[in-house]
A and B are shown apart, each in its own frame.
Chain A
Amino acid sequence: METSKLRKRMPVATLLDPAIIGPAIGQAFVKLNPKTLAKNPVMFVLEMVTLLTTVLLLRDIAVHAGNIVFELQIVIWLWFTVLFANFAEAVAEGRGKAQADTLRRTRTETRAKRILMPNNHEVYEGVSADRLEAGDLVVCEAGDIIPGDGEVIEGIASVNEAAVTGESAPVIRESGGDRSAVTGGTTVISDRIVIKITSSPGSSFLDRMIKLVEGAERQKTPNEIALNILLVGLTIIFVFAAATIPSYAAYAGGTISVVVLVALFVTLIPTTIGALLSAIGIAGMDRLVRFNVLAVSGRAVEAAGDVDTLLLDKTGTVTFGNRLATELIPVPGVTEKEAAEAALLASDADETAEGRSIIAMAQEKYSVRGQVGAKGAEFIPFSATTRLSGVDIGGRKLRKGAIDSILKFAREQSGQNVSEPPAFRAAVDRIARSGGTPLGLADNGRLLGVIHLKDVVKPDVKDRFGALRRMGIKTVMITGDNPVTAASIASEAGVDDFIAEATPEDKLRYIRSEQAHGRLIAMCGDGTNDAPALAQADVGVAMQTGTQAAREAGNMVDLDSDPTKLIEVVEIGKQLLMTRGALTTFSIANDVAKYFAIIPAMFVAFYPQLQVLNVMRLATPQSAILSAIVFNALIIVALIPLALKGVKYRPIGAAALLRRNLLIYGLGGVIMPFIGIKLIDLAVTALHLA
């Protein structure tokens, strides 16, 4: 089963969607407000020095001093640099807003039927949904939109949660048990339920989701804060480097204009990463939402990238939920065909997944053509007392069932103590040892053979766990099975460790002991009893189908309720960190070329020898400085798609990944600007701009 095919993705806005680009251009100007920019220190400094040069330019224009055409171009490109940075952030936010709008449309206009008296659920008044308080009781009937997050306290209903999950098949919500949580914005399709609202207006699940994808509630993550400190530090270092130059120049008998000095400073400070930093963060959150996972904070997404151990429930994640027949072992004297026919007949009317898998096996593996729906057949359904099922047909009593039950049945039918053939017992033992379930097959008093029912491991999980291992992540399978069965499935699926006969307390204990060794743990869960473990784990992904308690405890909610998605969540977290690292490295590496463009240009007037350092052979000092500034601005725009899409994560091990990324973003970051600045210089010269 290909998990990703099951996934309904939210609509993805293309990079060039005019509906996003248009408003983003407007936003780029709105964000020039220094108060907004102050959150991003590098950009704030950039705006301040740009303002300074603008003032100086105006002064020069007023007194007709300096090279006004050149200064004007520098100032224009400095403003472009600030605007491009704002634009990058606005595009990222715009993409989130596009998703949020879809969500918001469901929220507005919702009317709620609020119950007036707690003891009488028949009398209610109509109120607007945003006037509901936590603790209010509301009634929802077929066709109603559920007005807020809450818990079903009475009744059962089918609910369409497509507005939140994108999945159109309705789900059952009922009072009590693990399926009592409902989400505001979803629609009741049938029946009537009474809901106790658990969220206050503006803080419902939907509201949180809207704010998150819009980036409005975005707080800087720990790693982002650390990176910002680094960028501020670098900026201060370059303040010293630039601010001391006029004095050196004065000693050498030259002067440096402030505009040129600002140009050097701006190209040296890490504007590229500074401009794209918040776009990367918003886009990371956005990617997660498009995978139908909601995180309560960016911190959780970042933690996902650091996860060392993944706790996975066996059922549904490692194996298909049901046991399937994989082989048939006849006793000596019985042909495979004979046994397969009997198995087919005995399962003909068995509608369970196990029964159907036996039919499929008989038909496909043993090529038996069964008379499905044979005349005169009387079907014996499974009962808890006999623990057998089968068919009576033409005097034959065909039965399948648990081994001791089938032996008992054979004894009763033959009226004597049938000896269990050694081969039968051997087959049963072998199956049990391998972690499977043996199912006996008998025809009246005669034992025909054993069917091997197996907990079938999903075909692609072994590769995925292999990929995780290469990422450096340990997978641990949690199962209620006994240790023998668990060990067998664990080795087949390729998980690194397992916890057999696990209770919720075992999970919690395991998580704590791993954390004590410094590891970060991710897990997913849905039941109320998973809540403590979800809360304890560093990344706890609650299933949307789960209980309110589980959803509150985790720091992410998976709207598709697909446990294997943890793997993608981890990849998204890693991608987020990698993108930041790659662009930071690129940004710093770019400085080499910029130095070689601007330093000779600055000093060549009084030390003509320094022309040797002009390795790019840029035409004139003015064109060199202008080219460096233009490159510095354009590179931001050029990297917006990368910032939004993220650097691709490859599970090839940290050393190989580092080598690859260093080559691209480190070495590439050193070389590329030499080419870029040279090309811009050619263009600038051709257009006679400087």
Chain B
Amino acid sequence: MTIIGWVQIALYCAVLVAVTPLLGGYMTRVFAGEANFLSPVLRPVENALYRVGGVDPQGEQHWLTYTIAMLLFHIGGFAILYALLRLQALLPLNPQEQSAVAPDLSFNTAISFITNTNWQNYGGESTLSYLVQMLGLTHQNFLSAATGIVLAVALIRGFARASMKTIGNFWVDITRCTLYVLIPICIPYALFLVWQGMPQTLGAYVDATTLEGARQTIAVGPVASQVAIKMLGTNGGGFFNANAAHPFENPTALSNFVQMLSIFVLGAALTNVFGRMVGNQRQGWAILAAMGVLFITGVLVAYWAEANGTQMLDALGITGGNMEGKEVRFGIVASALFAVVTTAASCGAVNAMHDSFTALGGMIPLINMELGEIVVGGVGAGLYGMLLFVILTVFVAGLMVGRTPEYVGKKIEAKEVKMAMLAILILPLMILGWTAVAVVYPPAVASMANSGPHGFSEVLYAYSSQTGNNGSAFAGLTGNTLFYNTTGAVAMFIGRFWMIVPAMAIAGTLAAKKSVPASHGTFPTTGALFVGLLVGVILIIGGLTFFPALALGPIVEHLAMQAGTVF
């Protein structure tokens, strides 16, 4: 562990905290429908879109209408993407003449991209045409990200409003989110990436002759535009199979730093949007602080584990920590930090192979995903997931001040608790359930690259990643089989929408409630005490559920490694 490593981590956190209130303020205005500096250019576009779509921008929706609109939108998105994948051989912009994608892989991939997971059971450069990458994937990268954000905003409105039946208009929200937030950030961001050396071309792959005289095909394509939204929207689906470890997908140390920032920036800003909309920014900071505690703890453990390496490496005379599976360009700290960031948020882009991390270093990404990716989290999804835990925390501990629990002026009652529990149940059901099936189903076991606890971790990681809509892979596991394609798609679908529907139901009931003014008797939710409490509840309820599985995976692997056994 080096000084320069600590400086990188500190700098990362400082920049993030500095950007949060600025972007938060801007996004609050966007979702309140107020004019901003982009309005003169974008307002006509926005209004034209409403006219084309027949949307009344003033008409607000009940939570159920809002949710149904969102679901319809996704069914449409799924159909288009599935069709594109199946028909890509017949469609233009296919210079490499990629053939049609198999049905189960298409199903998995389509679900993966509409759920903001971007789990990839394929290699992009060897499977997909430019048209599918741009029209199918990049398109869903924008919309699935925008969906996450608007759902979070709708839930925030539930907390912020009082005695109202509606929580906003899905069509208006998603239009404004894409037009005013995602696109304006992505355009300069993509240009920045091109400047850093990333390709942006529709030309065919380049044939080159290496120094040894061998012929090599170098894959290129419209990379920068996809990478910008892949990071900003916490999608994580790489243009290339190697994802952000590929020199064309992450050319420099600077591009690496900016990519890490862009994964967290919208999720962090949403905590500030929450604070502003409920009328007290400190409420937002408290949530970000709880996320921060979990995040920094994760970074410290991962960095420590990777920097210390293993006894086996020491015995071989290799010093300087565990560099296996890491890019020399980034080194240990940038790889460990990236791994924690990408799994804390539901991004899933990787710049190092998590499979090659030490047992404990690899356990941190696993825990991040199993907690439901609420540490900043996927854009929007992180905040609404965190708010579900907040509801449970406030309910359990809030009783201890002798009042019906309240949070930002809303009483937390049976309906909210029921919905929060319903949503949180999904994590153990999908993650532990599918893992339990896979580890005893011979064809599924055959997909594991390693035996013993490490193989177990690969499967556990796969379902954690898919249920949490993360999309990063532990590598090692051959995912493109009928079993993993199908069960993974189910995990991704349920993991996304079974979380969303209860969260929206909460938004609806909260919006309809009166707002209770705070007093001396009100449970305080802005201080260090609350932050500590929230972290405690997340670790006990969210974390302990997975303790048996973790004990049989990374923990036992770590202990075995100390005793000299590797898997």
Chain A residues, Cβ within 8 Å of B425: 233, 236-237, 240
* Given A248-B456, A657-B400, A230 contacting B417 (CB threshold 8 A): yes
- Asked whether B400 lies within 8 Å of A517 as measured between CB atoms, the reply is no
Residues of B within 8 A of A589 (CB): 540
Q: Which residues of B contact A229 (CB under 8 A)?
A: 414, 417-418, 421
27 pairs, CB–CB < 8 Å, chain A vs chain B: A226-B417, A226-B418, A229-B417, A234-B421, A237-B545, A240-B429, A240-B433, A244-B432, A247-B440, A306-B403, A308-B521, A517-B514, A518-B409, A577-B399, A577-B402, A577-B404, A582-B400, A588-B540, A591-B544, A609-B562, A610-B555, A654-B520, A657-B402, A658-B523, A658-B524, A662-B529, A666-B397
Instruction: Give B415's nearest chain A residue, CB to CB.
Output: A226
- Count how many pairs of residues, one from A and one from B, have CB atoms less than 8 Å apart in the complex: 214
Q: Does A640 contact B (CB under 8 A)?
A: no
CA distance A104 to B253 in the complex (A): 83
The 7 A-B pairs with the shortest beta carbon distances in the complex, nearest first, are: A472-B521, A581-B399, A574-B402, A233-B421, A472-B519, A609-B559, A247-B436
Expressed in whole angstroms, the Cα–Cα distance for A134 and B557 within the complex equals: 77
Of residues 413 through 451 on chain B, the ones whose CB sits less than 8 Å from some CB of chain A are 413-414, 416-418, 421-422, 424-425, 428-429, 432-433, 435-437, 439-440, 445
Contacting pair A248 B429 (CB below 8 A): no
B79 on the interface (CB 8 Å rule)?
Answer: no
Which residues on the B side are within 8 Å of A80 (C-beta)? none
B551:A472 contact, CB within 8 angstroms: no
Q: Tell me how far the C-beta of B389 lies from the nearest C-beta in chain A, rounded to whole angstroms.
A: 13
Count of B residues near A, CB < 8 Å? 67
Decide: A661 and B400 in contact? CB cutoff 8 A. Answer: yes
Which listed residue (A306, A518, A609, A666) contacts B404, Cβ 8 A?
A306
Tell me, yes or no, whether A665 is within 8 Å of chain B by CB.
yes
- Residue contact B435 to A248, C-beta cutoff 8 Å: yes
Residues of B near A591 (CB, < 8 A) are: 540, 544
> Which residues of B12-54 are within 8 A (CB) of A?
none
Chain A 650-690, CB within 8 Å of chain B: the 1/0 string? 00011101110110011000000000000000000000000
Which residues in B have their C-beta under 8 angstroms from that of A230?
392, 395-396, 417, 421
Chain A residues with CB below 8 A from B404, complex form: 222-223, 302, 305-306, 577
Task: Decide: A248 near B549, CB < 8 A? Known: A240-B432, A649-B402.
Answer: yes
Residues of B near A607 (CB, < 8 A) are 453, 552, 556, 559-560
Contact yes or no, B551 A592, CB < 8 A: no
Q: Could you say which residues of chain B place their CB within 8 Å of the CB of A588?
A: 396, 537, 540-541
Considering the chains assembled together, what is the distance between the CA atoms of A248 and B432 in angstroms?
9
Q: Are A584 and B399 in contact (CB under 8 A)?
A: yes
Closest chain A CB from B222 CB (angstroms)? 43
The answer to whether A609 and B556 have CB atoms under 8 Å apart is yes
Q: Could you give, for residues 297-332 of chain B, a 1 whenever the CB lies within 8 Å of some chain A CB and a 0 otherwise?
A: 000000000000000000000000000000000000
Complex interface residues of chain B between 229 and 251 (CB less than 8 A to chain A): none
* Binding site secondary structure of chain A: helix
Cβ B435 vs Cβ A581 within 8 A: no
Whether A20 sits at the interface, judged by CB under 8 Å, is: no
The tally of residues in A whose CB lies under 8 Å from a CB in B reads 73
Name the B residues within 8 Å of A396 (CB-CB). Answer: none
A581 cross-chain contacts in B, Cβ below 8 A: 396-401
Contacts of A575 in B (CB 8 A): 402
Least CB distance, B161 to chain A, in whole angstroms: 13
When the two chains form their complex, are residues A241 and B439 in contact, meaning their CB atoms are under 8 A apart?
no
* B296: Cβ under 8 A from any A Cβ: no
Q: Are A469 and B545 in contact (CB under 8 A)?
A: no
Residues of A within 8 A of B445 (CB): 251
Contacts of B428 in A (CB 8 A): 237, 240-241
Residue from the list A226, A240, A610, A657 in contact with B401, Cβ < 8 A: A657
Residues of A within 8 A of B456 (CB): 248, 251-252
Give the Cβ gap from A63 to chain B, nearest Cβ, in Å: 26
Closest to A302 in B: B404
Task: Contact check, B545 vs A599: say whether CB atoms are below 8 A apart.
Answer: no
Nearest-neighbour CB distance to chain A for B356, whole angstroms, equals: 21
Residue A323, interface by CB 8 Å? no
Q: Among residues 510 to 528 in chain B, which have CB atoms less than 8 Å away from a CB atom of chain A?
A: 514-517, 519-524, 527
* Residues in B whose Cβ lies below 8 Å from that of A471: 402, 520-521
Over the window 440-472 of chain B, the binary record of Cβ atoms lying under 8 Å from chain A Cβ atoms (1 yes, 0 no) is: 100001000000110010000000000000000
* Bound form: Cα–Cα A578–B424 in Å: 25
- How long is the Cα–Cα vector from A187 to B402 in the complex, in angstroms? 40
Q: Choose among B398, B403, B519 the residue with the greatest number of A CB atoms under 10 Å from its CB.
A: B403
Instruction: Give the docked Cα–Cα distance between A201 and B537 (Å).
Output: 51
Distance A233 CA – B429 CA, assembled complex (angstroms): 12
The answer, among A249, A518, A578, for a CB contact under 8 Å with B399, is: A578
B524 in contact with A240 (CB, 8 Å): no
Specify which chain B residues have a CB less than 8 angstroms from the CB of A236 in the assembled complex: 421, 425
Select one of B422, B517, B529, B559 contacting A612, CB under 8 A. Answer: B559
Q: Which residues of B contact A655 (CB under 8 A)?
A: 524, 527, 529
A186 interface hit (Cβ, 8 Å)? no
A21 within 8 A of B: no
**What residues of B have a CB within 8 angstroms of the CB of A10 in the complex?**
none
Known A-B contacts A230-B421, A518-B517, A585-B397; the reply to A610 vs B548 at CB < 8 A is no
Given contacts A227-B417, A612-B559, could you give 13 more A-B pairs where the C-beta distance is less than 8 Å?
A: A226-B395, A244-B433, A244-B436, A247-B439, A248-B436, A248-B456, A472-B520, A519-B516, A578-B400, A591-B544, A603-B556, A649-B402, A666-B397
Q: How far is the CA of A469 from the CA of B549 in the complex (A)?
A: 49
Give bound CA distance, A602 to B520, whole Å.
48
Check: A473 CB closer than 8 A to any chain B CB. yes
B541, A234: Cβ atoms closer than 8 Å: yes
Cα–Cα distance between A575 and B399 once the two chains are bound (Å)? 9
CA distance A575 to B547 in the complex (A): 34
Asked if A245 is at the interface of the complex by the 8 Å CB criterion, the answer is yes
**Chain B, 349-371, CB within 8 A of any chain A CB:** none
**Is there an interface contact between B560 and A609, defined as CB atoms closer than 8 Å?**
yes
Cα–Cα distance between A649 and B418 once the two chains are bound (Å): 28
User: Is residue B536 within 8 Å, beta carbon to beta carbon, of the partner chain?
Assistant: yes
Residues of B within 8 A of A245 (CB): 548
Q: B519: which of A226, A308, A573, A595 is its contact (CB, 8 Å)?
A: A308
A470 at the interface (CB under 8 A from B): yes
Cβ of B563 < 8 Å from any Cβ of A? Answer: yes
Note all chain B residues with C-beta closer than 8 A to A222. Answer: 404, 413-414
| Chain B residues with CB under 8 A of A179 | none
For the complex, what is the distance from the CA of A302 to the CA of B435, rounded to whole Å?
Answer: 43
